Chains A and B, each alone.
Chain A
Amino acid sequence: MTEYITLSFLLFTIGAVGVLVRRNAIVVFMCVELMLNATNLAFVSFARQHGNLDGQTAAFFVMVVAAAEVVIGLAIIVSIYRTRRSTSVDEANLLKA
């Protein structure tokens, strides 16, 4: 049981560090997906631990939200790329400048 949770938080930490380090917006996005997947693993493991399916239902909802989020996020990245010709998060400072 504990090893599943350990793997889950390892993946979550790696995803979080990736969000902090990477500058390509698409890779940052993939790191967010990794974090969501890590929480899903924890949900499924806890569902098995407690012997009911609520955890799996939560994982299912996380997947639905992740799918919607990816669609919107990638659309935003594409529209930024159209105007700025770049997907680097450093250069998307339109709101600041």
Chain B
Amino acid sequence: MTTFWVLAPIMVIAAMGLILARKAVHAALCLAVVMISLAVLYAVQDAPFLFAVQIIVYTGAIMMLFLFVLMLVGVDRSDSLVESIKGQRLAAAVVGILFAVTLSIGVGQVVVSSTIGLDQANADGNVEGLAALLFTRYVIAFEFTAALMITAVLGAMVLAHRERLVTPRSQTDLQKQRMRDYAEQGRHPGNPPTPGVFALHNAVDTPALLPDGTTAEESVPESLRQRGQERQGLDDSAVQDRLREIGPDEDEEDADR
């Protein structure tokens, strides 16, 4: 019983964390805590086979699968707190409380007979007892799970498979494209300038300065540009100050000549 009273609060808190955590990875970790605690509760309740299966299948396979998919779709994304349906959270809380009340009334009305315990059923060993049930009384259901497994594997393969619609572009195609861009749009076919060239900061997030004083945005790596982490080059306050110091003089010299 001690195990139960130690684990039950942890499980409830972790389950609440599953609802409240804003990041999906934190929710997954909370769920892993619940599942491992459940495995321990199975072990306490004379179910050593389910204890092993819970650890291997749930925390081992299923949680790994969840984490893999989280990595695929982007881990650092967190849910927005804006409700898309008005009052959804309040309504869900009310429904949840009503549900809990209903269930607790149901549990409260149960006439609890004395717990028989599994000592007799587990006399030949828990695994042997389960096997005797699985392969006699529940053998049809067991066969159906085999069919279910095969269907699931095929379904996952079909759903996750992606047909390649266009052939991948080869080096030759890229080269032809570059020359066509040069002919039609006048785009320079060579290497773009590297970031930081002729700029105040010699850093990869600073766009290169072109001879006419404008910045070459495409010299900054695209991932930095998408995240909005590039410096503004000429718009930098330091550069602006420096230009203000020297700019007018050069212009005047030009005008004198």
**Chain A interfacial positions (CB closer than 8 Å to B):** 1-7, 9-18, 20-24, 26-27, 29-31, 33-34, 37, 40-41, 44-45, 47-54, 56-57, 59-61, 63-72, 74-79, 81-82, 87-88, 90
Give the complex CA separation of A18 and B28 in angstroms. 13
Scoring B19, B45, B61, B120 by chain A CB atoms within 10 A of each residue's CB, the highest score goes to: B19
Known: A9-B100, A27-B18, A52-B121. A41 touches B116 (CB 8 A): no
16 more CB-based (< 8 A) A-B contacts, given A15-B15, A53-B133 = A4-B4, A7-B8, A9-B104, A11-B11, A22-B19, A31-B18, A44-B41, A45-B45, A47-B47, A53-B121, A63-B57, A64-B148, A67-B62, A71-B65, A78-B72, A78-B160
Known: A49-B116, A72-B156. A13 touches B96 (CB 8 A): yes
Q: Which of B108-156 contact A (CB under 8 A)?
A: 110, 112-113, 115-118, 120-122, 126, 129-130, 133-134, 138, 141, 145, 148-149, 151-153, 155-156
Interface string of B12-51 (1 = CB under 8 A from A): 1001101100001001100100110010011001110110
Whether a CB of chain A sits under 8 angstroms from the CB of B174 is no
Q: Are A82 and B162 in contact (CB under 8 A)?
A: yes
User: Could you write out 5 A-B pairs with CB less than 8 Å apart?
Assistant: A6-B107, A14-B15, A34-B34, A61-B141, A79-B160
Interchain nearest-CB distance for A3 vs B (Å)? 6
Known: A34-B18, A34-B31. A3 touches B79 (CB 8 A): no
Whether a CB of chain A sits under 8 angstroms from the CB of B159 is yes
A contact patch SS: helix
Binds A, one of B86-94, B163-171, B220-228, B238-246: B86-94
Which B residues touch A70, using CB under 8 A?
62, 65-66
Which residue of chain A has the shortest Cβ distance to B51 in the bound complex?
A: A44
Known: A17-B95, A74-B69. A11 touches B47 (CB 8 A): no
CB < 8 Å neighbour of A48 from B45, B54, B113: B45
**Chain B interfacial positions (CB closer than 8 Å to A):** 4, 8, 11-12, 15-16, 18-19, 24, 27-28, 31, 34-35, 38, 41-42, 45-47, 49-50, 53-54, 57-58, 61-62, 65-66, 69-70, 72-73, 79-80, 84, 88-89, 91-93, 95-96, 99-100, 103-104, 107, 110, 112-113, 115-118, 120-122, 126, 129-130, 133-134, 138, 141, 145, 148-149, 151-153, 155-156, 159-160, 162
Q: Are A5 and B107 in contact (CB under 8 A)?
A: yes
Give the complex CA separation of A45 and B4 in angstroms. 12
Interchain nearest-CB distance for B186 vs A (Å)? 34
Which A residues touch B115, using CB under 8 A?
1, 48-49
